[in-house]
Structure formats: C-alpha cells, structure tokens
Amino acid sequence: MRLIIFAIATLVIYTDTFGQPPNKSYRVDTVLNKCIDKTNGGDAGMIYCLQKAEMNWDAELNKTFKLLLAKLDSSEQKELRESQRQWIIYKDKEIKFFTDIYGKRDGTMWNLAISDKQMQLIRQRTIELLDYYETLTQN
C-alpha cells in the first residue's frame, strides 16, 4: 500500500491541473524528488520531504505574490489581495477536511497522504500565481 501512495504522490507532482505533464519543471519538485529518492520508500522520510517541499512552495508563493503585485495597478492589487485571502480560507478549510477524514484511518500512509495534499494545495496556488506573472511579463 505504501508503494501505491508513493506512486500516486509522484504522479500528482508530475502533473498539472489538467492531468498533463507540466510545460516546465520546477526547482522545488526536483529537490522533492531527490529527497524522496533518498528515503527508500519510508513513510517518515517521505513525509519529511513533503513538508520541506511545502515550506519551499510557500516561500515561492510569497515571492511570486509580491512580484505579481508589483505588476498590477492599485485596483488589480486589491483584487489579488482579496483573492489570496479567499484562497487562504479555502486552503485552511480544505486541510481541516482532509485531515479529519484521513486522520481517522489506520496506518501511517494516511499521514503521508495528508502531507502530500497540503503540499499540493500550496504548489497549485503558486503555479497559478506564476502563470499570471509570466503572462503579464511576456513580451
């Protein structure tokens, strides 16, 4: 079962919202994959790697948010800030939901699933903000 969770986590990392391979690779994903390769499939090691990736994606999210804000006029900045506030509310509720559900299950693999889903939420939002930023900065 642990192998199945690992395979699912790896598949999710390599796909975007539409289930297609991403157009480019992301440094955080590369670091995560190298970290997971070193764990030899152990849950605790993979959870550590996912939590580290979550922190790295969060740092990228904050950096990208600031870069994007700098490209927007004051009205757009207000909209982005409100969008981000609403996303944070969604993220917190989503984490509570899947933590409540998975936390009731037996087995350490559910802790791995929780860590992966938390990281994926932040990863996806970061990629969305990056996409907005790249769209605005293309020549």
Q: What is the mean pLDDT of the chain?
A: 87
- The whole-number pLDDT of residue 114 equals 95
At a CB cut-off of 8 Å and minimum separation 6, what does 105 contact? Answer: none
Comparing CA positions, the residue from 74, 67, 57, 70 lying closest to residue 124 is: 57
Contact (Cβ atoms closer than 8 angstroms) between residue 2 and residue 43: yes
30-78 pLDDT tens trace: 999 999 999 887 889 999 999 999 999 999 999 999 999 999 999 999 9
- The whole-number pLDDT of residue 48 equals 95
Could you tell me which residue, 7 or 93, shows the higher pLDDT? Answer: 93
- The whole-number pLDDT of residue 137 equals 93
Query: pLDDT tier at 12 (50, 70, 90 boundaries)?
Result: low
Phi, psi of 109 (to 5 degrees): -65, -25
For the chain, domain boundaries: 2-137
Residue 128 has pLDDT above 60, yes or no: yes
- The whole-number pLDDT of residue 40 equals 82
Contact (Cβ atoms closer than 8 angstroms) between residue 67 and residue 54: no
Percentage of residues in the chain having pLDDT higher than 70: 83
3-state SS string over 68-88?
Answer: HHHCCCHHHHHHHHHHHHHHH
At a CB cut-off of 8 Å and minimum separation 6, what does 127 contact? Answer: 16, 22, 26
pTM flag (> 0.95): no
With 0-12 / 13-18 / 19 or more C-beta atoms within 10 angstroms meaning exposed / middle / buried, residue 66 is: exposed
At a CB cut-off of 8 Å and minimum separation 6, what does 112 contact? Answer: 2, 5, 6, 9, 43, 46, 47, 50
